[in-house]
Structure 1
Amino acid sequence: MLARERLVAPLVSLSWPQAPSISSGIRRTLEVAAAVATMGCLVMAATLPSDRDNASSRASNGVPVSTALHPGRETDFGAYLGAPYHYPSDFHLVKKGGTDLTIKNVEWYTLPFENPLYYGVRLQRWFTGRFGSMLDFTHSKVYAPLDKEANFEGTVDGKPVPPTAKPRDYFKKLEWTHGHNMLTLNGMIRLPSLGIVSPYLGAGAGLSFPHSEIFPKTDPSRTYEYQYTGPAGQALFGLEFRLPTGSVFVEYKFTSSDYWGPLTGRDGSWYPIDMWNQFSRWWSGEEPPYGWAGARLTSHQVIGGFLTRFVPKTAGAK
């Protein structure tokens, strides 16, 4: 077994109570409604007046405790929408019985404004006016264009594949659309502010937890579940427009995720149950029944969102 296969931990099909099923249409409607409601609440919170921004609210040295014009110690919670671009990359499928297939330079689709939406949430902690940290969750999407011809290499069931074919010839589904999920811990630094505009930089690393939907035509059932598939990393640059109690921000992110996940042929349920199943299979050393599949997903992402700001009171504040 490859070392990276041992690392990502295959799933195990346990006798575990399944969550009540929710139709995909209802689930996607709820996702959109939650994203819109969250963004609306953050906009309202960011524009509310704050007495800490008044001239009368000052520390003993005469400097405002923390205002839009003077970033300092604070905690921010935010949400965002955006649009990614995924670089073309190779998709690999490996399983027993003579299958070792590569689809070269798959031009991944994103469709960020169709259900389910591209979105993200984050929690930031600024320890000083200059340095901070951020826990960032991004929900993106990845679709393989099944009807577009691509270059193929390798074998399926011991037989060579043609040099060109359509992915639909071999797959009923090939996507990570619920989604291409990344959770990263980032270090942050603020650059000198220009009025209410506060530029910042960040970089970090974390893990990929996609919801896979992969269905080779040679398998009796699809793999449709949350999985841990490998590490993720990102670098970012943004502009924060600081309002009385919150901020509006625009940001560019560069992300890279190494996907290599087990094909279990099972329909998953809730995230914790799927993760427990994967951990249990890894712990027992059991191989997934239908092999392994994955790709490296490298992306440009442009996002925009809102932050609500929580500023601690100081001893000198009145």
Structure 2
Amino acid sequence: MNNRSAISTAALLILSTVGVVGSVSPASAEIELSFYSGYQTSPHSRVRGNRGASSGGTPFDNLIGWDGNSFDAPIYYGLRATWWRGDNIGFGLEVTHDKAYAPASEMPAGFSRLEFTDGHNIITANVSKRWPGAWGNFTPYVSGGVGIAMPHVDVTEGSNRTFGYQVTGPAARVTAGAKYAITDRWSVFGEYQFTWSQNEADLTGGGSLETRIITNALNVGVGFSF
């Protein structure tokens, strides 16, 4: 699966959610579609695993200070669809294209590449709450969700290269922000978002890798409601 396919898959998931929630209560539902980017970082975490058989199957255990490089292509971004009910409780789906690069000096011996940069993709089902008018023209909101991590695993260890998407484990996110309505349909927003994922990936050559990835992000974006 290439990056274009991943974007198409994410868009299809968002549109599918819109179709499902729209059919539940078409008379009263408000669907909000949101797109955002921003500045995303990832704190240190340990990477543990075993090298492939061609490298003796030896274990590794390294502390990695991940680089986010949010604005390097492909940039960090997110897509979200939310169905808001009359009580201002929302349900939806969210996909973020997070990124994590391991610095060369911190990678396990024998590794020349270790990154999740064509997307450490976090896909969650969310529950949200908003308070229209609580801050004048601004509407604060919070959101939480659980789901899966589907990163593009890009690892080179010796002559073995792992390069592809894998479902690597559970994920969760928490978001808090505020939006400003430009018109009845269009809005802009700013938010803080935290994601967590526990990842186990298979490496080419029979090796394996596991790590916890946490991200912190400051997002700005645009929303469209209908």
TM-score between both structures, scaled by the size of structure 1: 0.59
Separation in 2, partners of 1:223, 1:250: 36
In the other structure, the counterpart of 1:227 is: 166
Q: Which residue of 1 aligns with 2:60?
A: 101
Tell me how far apart the structure 1 counterparts of residues 194 and 94 of structure 2 sit (CA, whole Å). 13
Provide the residue aligned with 1:83 in structure 2.
39
Q: 205, 209, 226: which is aligned to 2:150?
A: 209
SS of 1:259's equivalent?
strand
CA-CA distance at 1:247 after TM superposition: 1.0
What residue is the counterpart of 2:212 in the other structure? 296
Unaligned runs of 5+ in 2: 8-27
* Gaps in structure 1 of 5+ consecutive residues: 1-18, 32-71, 151-166, 266-288, 311-318
1:201 counterpart letter in structure 2: V
Deviation of residue 191 (structure 1)? 2.6
* Contact 1:92/1:293, CA 8 A, preserved across alignment: yes
Please show how residues 4-153 of structure 1 align to structure 2 within 5 Å: 73-95=29-51, 97-104=56-63, 106-146=64-104, 148=105, 150=106
Q: CA deviation at 1:294?
A: 2.4
- Hey, which bits of structure 1, 4+ residues long, moved more than 3 A? 95-98
Letter of the aligned partner of 2:146 in structure 1? Answer: A
1:305 partnered with 2:215: no
Aligned to 1:210, the other structure's residue is in SS state: strand
* Per-residue deviation, 1:252: 0.5
What secondary structure, in the 3-state scheme, does the structure 1 residue paired with 2:160 have?
Answer: coil
For residues 90-142 of structure 1, what are the alpha-carbon distances to aligned partners after superposition, in whole Å with 9 as ceiling and x for unaligned?
A: 011224544111012x1100110111100111111001242111211000111
SS in 2 for 1:224: strand
8 Å CA contact 2:132–2:138 kept in 1: the answer is no
Native 8 Å contact 1:129 1:190 kept in 2: no
Residue-by-residue CA offset, 1:160-195 (whole Å, 9 max, x unaligned): xxxxxxx27421210011011000111001135223
Which of the pair has more CA radius of gyration? 1
Task: State the AA in 2 paired with 1:77.
Answer: L
SS of residue paired to 1:110: coil
TM-score (structure 2 length as normaliser): 0.82
Query: Aligned equivalents of 1:169 and 1:99: distance in 2?
Result: 11
Query: Counterpart in 2 of 1:250?
Result: 190
SS in 1 for 2:86: coil
Give the aligned length: 199
Taking the aligned partners of 2:32 and 2:200, their CA distance within structure 1 comes to 33
Question: 1:186 corresponds to which residue?
Answer: 126
1:241 and 1:73 map into 2 onto residues whose CA distance is: 20
Contact 1:73–1:129 (CA<8 Å) still a contact in 2? Answer: no
